[in-house]
Structure 1
Amino acid sequence: MKIIAVTACPSGVAHTYMAAESLKVAAEESKVCESCFVETQGQIGIEDALSPTQIQAADVVILTNDIGIKNEERFKGKPVLRVHAGDLINKSPIIIEKLAQKLA
């Protein structure tokens, strides 16, 4: 499974980056995740912007729903899961496993 994600939070500081890191670590440790690319939309702007190639190759998109995500139209036609940043921080392995089951 190929995952792309965009994380953001109201303050654009801690939770944005904690959620991104948690998801990346869980994806690396997962047996079902082939790749995981995460764009952050924090206080200093967009970092690690997802490329059109990464978006096209993705099986699923994870978006944090704590605040609006910029340029969300890029993901039209892709399955999108919206979660709170706190859930990505605390439950990324579970989220990945459930996505894999759903996409199987």
Structure 2
Amino acid sequence: MMKILAVTACPSGVAHTYMAAEAIDDACKRVGIPCKVETQGSIGIENEITPADLEGATAVILTNDMPIKHVDRFEGIPKVKVGVGAAIKQADAIVTKIVEKLG
């Protein structure tokens, strides 16, 4: 079974961080794929991805508008790097592409 992880962050660390997280989570739900999205916003890290979450992860989506903290924990997991705007507007297409390539 596939499992997608994601980390979203934007320069201001407010609205777009959470909008991207919601869009990715909703896109995964629409296709029935378990997903966990960590946000790295202005109030710090929320919904932090744990070592247990990393087990069996198919891919991790990382927004690339600013550096993601602790990115080394995703070593060995295929990464998809997208802008926060793309994560918000094209989450369905991003998830579909992951399913096509790795499913």
Name the TM tier (shorter chain).
Answer: over 0.9
Q: What percentage of residue pairs aligned between the two structures are identical?
A: 51
Q: Deviations over 1:15-68 (max 9, x none)?
A: 10000001111111114x2x0000000000000000101112211011000000
User: Which residue of the partner structure matches residue 50 of structure 1?
Assistant: 49
1:24-43 equivalences under 5 Å are: 24-31=25-32, 33=33, 35-43=34-42
For structure 1, the residue ranges without an aligned partner over 5 or more in a row are: none
Unaligned 5+ runs, structure 2: none
1:4 is matched by which residue type in structure 2?
L
Q: How does 1:62-81 map to 2 (within 5 A)?
A: 62-81=61-80
Secondary structure in structure 1 of the residue aligned to 2:11? coil
Instruction: After superposition, give the CA deviation of every residue in 1:62-84 in whole Å (9 maximum; x if it has no partner).
Output: 10000000000000111001000
Q: Secondary structure at 1:57's aligned position in 2? A: coil
User: RMSD in angstroms over aligned alpha carbons?
Assistant: 0.8
Aligned residues between the structures: 102
* Separation in structure 2 between the aligned mates of residue 57 and residue 15 of structure 1, nearest angstrom: 28
Which residue of structure 2 lines up, in the alignment, with residue 95 of structure 1? Answer: 94
CA distance in 2, matches of 1:17, 1:53: 23
TM-score for both structures, normalised by structure 1: 0.95
AA at the equivalent of 1:15: H
**TM-score between both structures, scaled by the size of structure 2:** 0.96
